[in-house]
Amino acid sequence: MKSFRKELYFNISTRRGFINITPQVEQALAESGITEGLVLVNAMNITASVFINDDESGLHVDMEKWLEKLAPEKPYSQYAHNGYEDNADAHLKRSVMGREAVVAITEGKLDFGTWEQIFYGEFDGKRKKYVLVKIIGE
């Protein structure tokens, strides 16, 4: 069994945003030399997500609006977590969208459906954060 590990860094200038990180994960896979196995892609910060969905800008607008409805950022005082911090909503939004994606590797490629793309979801940005790519296989 072979294993490979890589960190991907992000520093988004807004509080929230979605970035398609499929090219970076494909690059890590190429570097690993692994052709059959699994890749785990997970946020290393607990106010961010890794998820798989569509790379369509209208959908990202809908997701932002929907997550704000499910777990509003403001008023900050509605959350017990917010005292020294103001990011309780980011922890909740990340709970909806998930921490990680596990993707099959087949014949050296991400074994994806037609429209699947991997996203980094930032819910408390304006600072350096990161994602782990861990690949195991042969």
Q: Which residues bind a copy of itself (CB under 8 A)?
A: 1, 3, 5, 36-38, 40, 42-46, 51-54, 56-59, 61-63, 66, 70-71, 79-83, 88, 91-92, 94-104, 106, 111-116, 130, 132, 134, 136-138
In the bound complex, what is the minimum distance in angstroms from residue 30's beta carbon to a copy of itself?
Answer: 19
**CB closer to a copy of itself out of 13 and 69:** 69
**CB closer to a copy of itself out of 17 and 98:** 98
In the bound complex, what is the minimum distance in angstroms from residue 106's beta carbon to a copy of itself?
Answer: 6
Q: Please, what is the end-to-end C-alpha distance for the chain in angstroms?
A: 5
Distance CA 73, CA 75 (A): 6
In the bound complex, what is the minimum distance in angstroms from residue 83's beta carbon to a copy of itself?
Answer: 7
Quick one: 3 exposed, middle or buried, by C-beta within 10 A (0-12, 13-18, 19+)?
Answer: exposed
In the bound complex, what is the minimum distance in angstroms from residue 58's beta carbon to a copy of itself?
Answer: 4
Q: What is the CA radius of gyration of the chain?
A: 16
Quick one: 14 exposed, middle or buried, by C-beta within 10 A (0-12, 13-18, 19+)?
Answer: exposed
Distance CA 54, CA 58 (A): 10
